[in-house]
Amino acid sequence: MDLQTTILEAGGIYKKYASRLEKLNIKRLSDFLFHIPFRYDDYSLISKIGNVQRGEVVTIQGTVVEIKNELTKNWKRLQKAKVQDQTGSIDVIWFNQPYLVNVIRKGENISLSGKIDWYLHKIVLQSPEYEIGSSETIHTGRLVPVYSETRGVSSKWLRRQIYKILQDNKQKMLEYIPSSILKNNDLISLIEALEQIHFPKKLEYAEKARKRLAFNELFLIQLAALQKRFEWQNKLTSQPLEISRYKKQIEQFWENLPFDLTNAQKKAVSDIFRDLGSTRPMNRLLEGDVGSGKTVVSAIAMYLSFFNGFQSVFMAPTEILAQQHYNTINNLLSPFNVRVEIVTGSKKGRIMNQESNKFDILVGTHAVLGKKINFDKLGLVVIDEQQRFGVEQRAIIRQKGKNPHLLTMTATPIPRTIALTMYGDLDLSYLDEMPKGRKYIKTWLVNREKRNSAYEWIEKQINQTKSQAFIICPFIEESESMQTVRAATKEYGNLKKNIFPNLKLGMLHGKLKAKEKEKVLQDFRDKKTDILVATPVVEVGIDIPNATIMLIEASERFGLAQLHQLRGRVGRGDKQSYCLLFTESKSDQTIKRLKAMETTHVGAELAELDLRLRGPGEIYGTSQHGNKQLKVASFSDFALIEKTKKEAEKIFPRLRSYPLLLEKLNSITIKNISPD
Ligand code: ADP
Ligand code: MG
């Protein structure tokens, strides 16, 4: 057995506990060692029995003089022991643990940690942790680690296993971080770190251990990103696109747009063109707030690809978005004889029936991944809202061409620090400038008392300005469950009957059929409805310029970055737009957090704030983005991110001289969220 042994292979008690351990994400013996305590109980004060004082948390060590079960006056079961050392004796009591009399026996040496209390006019040690025998203690007499537990797996049990696994494997664990790096960064060795994170001699050692393990995590991610980037750049070749020959047409195209491209858009286009003209495939992330105009940038790239005789594919995460992008891209490019097609779950017809290749651009949902969808010459893959697609899906689409260029886009406001870590293998273009004339979306936090006047204001606004409103129902679960749909339907009924009987309301949720969704949206677009009640599905990409009011229910359930994205659904036209954040919360902290929406209008800044206030797990909803890889480090530790990045860059060219590090790197799967 070594650390890589799986829990099932390890047999015995481990095998029996396998499903419980799985809940704690412990699948191999090594995972025990990385099950990091979330706090320590300080039982390090060891006292002679004669010296204990009421109220103290202490450890005493002595001999069991007697132990027995007793019944209290109100029929509770009590376990009572007497323990003595050279200085005296003390009563020890527990409640409702009758088995203890079989575990703790008269005459044994025992170590007990707990609180000295008063019981029936006597000083007692109440419900202490106990540990039998006189060897090194792990549950008492020291800083004792406390772990996240699950039913049937207690901290005590975990502590025992971790201690044993550490002892058994200590000699075999090899240091894989080069000593020069350890020295430069004042880091303790791996073995020391693992020992001290679980069984620290002092709290400051636990802190040192934490520092070392956090360094490990970020350093390895940085190295993995560098490695991926290196492979992409050196092992893949693609056909470089000719640019100068088509410069005129391209410029003509963008001069004919009904607006001027922002400088940020122009810069992104030139970044992209530089990549497309190279012999290695582009791997670029285009990051930009909602409404910053990513679509048109990608359209220009696809147009260049078209001139070069290549097909492009544009993948969007939902049918609604695919349809909308199809309309946009078709409107932009079909006047220039570019053939744009669409394929979604419900729209397979045209492209499947005809010869499948008669298009220049295919827009679609993951339906484009289908086996029957083939390309003659796929040169460019564009993925919108890339975080919605899995690694496999991104790989499949790329395999439909020969190392096609890849442009991924996201409106998820990611703080730069995180982007540089998580997407370290990508080139980044950032649209940090909004199109001219865009107005800030006036945002108000609305508490319970002001709810009705807010509704009145909305009705008046709709009647006076002929604009439209979104009402977003509470976010209940990550994925759109029936529960979410039911809640939204109920709210819709209520709004229709009691709040806005004089307006026309539509309703959109994820469980509607594609056709129904489209109809609801079309009605809203055609102004047949005034208010669109929706579940949070509208978060991504819907573009309806006449909608100027966004009302978000239970806004405290969203992250700021998410709220910002929702808010971005309005403010698309030139009219002043508004966002009303409803909350029933009375917590000062929540109110303060939400208030930031009133004054801050840059997505990345809100994300940064979220990161500080709620931590990265919250923003990225671990399940969604697979960021569980960080157990100790934090993405808000900017200094450490910088440091590990520097060290990784320094050592990367010489990686081969460090076989242990290389081996470690190859043995782990960094669940990076950037495309593979
Ligand atoms: P996102 O970055 O959120 O995907 P879109 O590409 O959907 O944004 O663009 C949002 C809206 O802004 C669209 O209606 C688009 O036509 C418009 N738009 C894009 N670029 C500009 C610009 N430079 N000036 C004015 N409007 C623009
Ligand atoms: Mg978009």
CATH (domain of 134) = 2.40.50.140
d(CA 484, CA 107) in angstroms, rounded, equals 61
Q: Residue 357's domain spans which residues?
A: 244-276+293-410
Query: Ligand 1: distance of its center to the CA of 237 in Å?
Result: 32
d(CA 94, CA 115) in angstroms, rounded, equals 12
Residue % of the chain over a pLDDT of 70: 92
Q: Is 543 in the pocket of ligand 1 (CB under 6 A)?
A: yes
**pLDDT higher than 90, residue 33:** yes
| 580 & 551 share domain | yes
pLDDT at 485 (0 to 100) = 78
Residue 614 token pair: 């709620």
CA dist 468 to 152, 337, 461, 571, 667, Å?
54, 35, 9, 11, 54
Among 253, 267, 296, 432, name the best residue to mutate to test ligand 1's pocket (greatest count of ligand atoms within 8 A of Cβ).
296
For the segment 327-335, the average pLDDT, to the nearest whole number, is: 95
Q: Is 291 in the pocket of ligand 1 (CB under 6 A)?
A: yes
Among 261, 262, 295, 382, name the best residue to mutate to test ligand 1's pocket (greatest count of ligand atoms within 8 A of Cβ).
295
For the segment 566-586, the average pLDDT, to the nearest whole number, is: 89
pLDDT at 418 (0 to 100) = 73
pLDDT at 427 (0 to 100) = 87
Q: Is 265 in the pocket of ligand 1 (CB under 6 A)?
A: yes
Q: Is 411 in the pocket of ligand 1 (CB under 6 A)?
A: yes
Query: Ligand 1: distance of its center to the CA of 180 in Å?
Result: 50
| 447 & 574 share domain | yes
The residue count of the chain comes to 676
Tell me which residue has its CA closest to atom 10 in ligand 1.
291
For the segment 265-272, the average pLDDT, to the nearest whole number, is: 96
- CB-neighbour burial class of residue 622 (10 A; exposed 0-12, middle 13-18, buried 19+): middle
Q: What are phi and psi of 190, to 5 degrees?
A: -60, -45
**pLDDT higher than 70, residue 572:** yes
| 159 & 97 share domain | no
d(CA 547, CA 429) in angstroms, rounded, equals 29
Q: How remote is the C-alpha of 463 from its chain's centroid? A: 41
- N- to C-terminal Cα distance for the chain? 33
Does a structural domain hold residue 471? yes
Does a structural domain hold residue 61? yes
Q: Look at residues 124, 115, 106 and name the one whose alpha carbon lies nearest to residue 63.
A: 106
pLDDT at 320 (0 to 100) = 83
| 335 & 465 share domain | no
Axis-axis angle for helices 319-333, 294-307 (nearest 10): 60
User: In the listed set 370, 390, 410, which residue is the last one of a domain according to the structure?
Assistant: 410
| 309 & 449 share domain | no
| 31 & 113 share domain | no
Does a structural domain hold residue 493? yes
Does a structural domain hold residue 647? no
Does a structural domain hold residue 474? yes
Q: Is 296 in the pocket of ligand 1 (CB under 6 A)?
A: yes
Query: Ligand 2: distance of its center to the CA of 209 in Å?
Result: 43
d(CA 567, CA 582) in angstroms, rounded, equals 13
| 460 & 569 share domain | yes
Ligand 1 atom having least distance to the Cα of 545: 14
For the segment 592-606, the average pLDDT, to the nearest whole number, is: 88
Residue 281 token pair: 């495939």
pLDDT at 625 (0 to 100) = 34
d(CA 568, CA 571) in angstroms, rounded, equals 7
For the segment 106-116, the average pLDDT, to the nearest whole number, is: 95
pLDDT at 434 (0 to 100) = 84
Ligand 1 atom having least distance to the Cα of 295: 6
| 321 & 307 share domain | yes
| 252 & 264 share domain | yes
Per DSSP (E only), the strands in 583-652 are none
Residue whose pair of structure tokens reads 């009572």 in the numeric block: 80
Amino acid found at 93? I
Query: Ligand 2: distance of its center to the CA of 620 in Å?
Result: 19
pLDDT at 624 (0 to 100) = 32
Query: Ligand 1: distance of its center to the CA of 40 in Å?
Result: 52
d(CA 332, CA 299) in angstroms, rounded, equals 8
For the segment 651-670, the average pLDDT, to the nearest whole number, is: 87
Per-residue pLDDT reduced to its tens digit, 277-286: 999 899 999 9
Rg, the chain, Cα only? 31
For the segment 208-215, the average pLDDT, to the nearest whole number, is: 95
Residue % of the chain over a pLDDT of 90: 59
Q: Which ligand is nearest to the CA of 565?
A: 1
| 168 & 128 share domain | no
Tell me which residue has its CA closest to atom 24 in ligand 1.
435
Query: Ligand 2: distance of its center to the CA of 290 in Å?
Result: 7
Does a structural domain hold residue 198? no
| 453 & 394 share domain | no
Tell me which residue has its CA closest to atom 20 in ligand 1.
293
Provide the 8-state DSSP code for 344: B
Please give the tally of structural domains in the chain. 4
Neighbours of 24 (CB within 10 A): 17
User: Which contiguous run of DSSP H or E holds residue 88?
Assistant: strand 88-95
Ligand 1 atom having least distance to the Cα of 294: 2
Query: Ligand 2: distance of its center to the CA of 292 in Å?
Result: 8
Q: Is 261 in the pocket of ligand 1 (CB under 6 A)?
A: yes
Does a structural domain hold residue 641? no
Question: Helix (H, G, I), strand (E, B), or coil: what is residue 613?
Answer: helix
Per-residue pLDDT reduced to its tens digit, 487-531: 889 999 999 999 999 999 999 988 888 888 889 989 999 999 999
Q: Is 299 in the pocket of ligand 1 (CB under 6 A)?
A: no
Strand duo 109-119 + 122-132: pairing: antiparallel
Query: What are the strands of the beta sheet with 311-315, ordered from one edge?
Result: 340-343, 361-364, 311-315, 378-383, 405-410, 283-288, 427-431
Q: How remote is the C-alpha of 490 from its chain's centroid? A: 30
Q: Is 320 in the pocket of ligand 1 (CB under 6 A)?
A: no
Q: How remote is the C-alpha of 556 from its chain's centroid? A: 18
d(CA 34, CA 632) in angstroms, rounded, equals 9
Q: Look at residues 429, 453, 485 and name the one whose alpha carbon lies nearest to residue 285.
A: 429
User: In the listed set 561, 577, 600, which residue is the last one of a domain according to the structure?
Assistant: 600
Question: Helix (H, G, I), strand (E, B), or coil: what is residue 467?
Answer: coil
d(CA 491, CA 505) in angstroms, rounded, equals 12
Ligand 1 atom having least distance to the Cα of 328: 16
Tell me which residue has its CA closest to atom 5 in ligand 1.
293
**pLDDT higher than 90, residue 549:** yes
Amino acid found at 287? E
Query: Ligand 1: distance of its center to the CA of 293 in Å?
Result: 3
Q: Is 412 in the pocket of ligand 1 (CB under 6 A)?
A: no
Among 269, 292, 569, name the best residue to mutate to test ligand 1's pocket (greatest count of ligand atoms within 8 A of Cβ).
292
Which residues place a Cβ less than 5 A from the ion ligand 2?
541
| Pair 301, 250: CB distance under 8 Å | no
| 382 & 402 share domain | yes
Helices (H), 83-140: 100-103
Ligand 1 atom having least distance to the Cα of 568: 3
Strand duo 283-288 + 77-85: pairing: unpaired
Q: Is 440 in the pocket of ligand 1 (CB under 6 A)?
A: no
Q: Is 292 in the pocket of ligand 1 (CB under 6 A)?
A: yes
d(CA 164, CA 7) in angstroms, rounded, equals 15
Provide the 8-state DSSP code for 499: I
Query: Ligand 2: distance of its center to the CA of 541 in Å?
Result: 5
Tell me which residue has its CA closest to atom 15 in ligand 1.
293
pLDDT at 606 (0 to 100) = 85
Tell me which residue has its CA closest to atom 23 in ligand 1.
261
- The CATH number assigned to the domain holding 512 equals 3.40.50.300
Lowest model confidence (mean pLDDT) among 316-330, 426-440, 448-462, 490-504: 426-440
Tell me which residue has its CA closest to atom 16 in ligand 1.
293
Q: What pTM was estimated for this model as a whole?
A: 0.69
Q: Which ligand is nearest to the CA of 269?
A: 1
Tell me which residue has its CA closest to atom 22 in ligand 1.
435
Does a structural domain hold residue 189? no
d(CA 274, CA 566) in angstroms, rounded, equals 33
Ligand 1 atom having least distance to the Cα of 290: 3
Strand duo 340-343 + 361-364: pairing: parallel
pLDDT at 541 (0 to 100) = 54
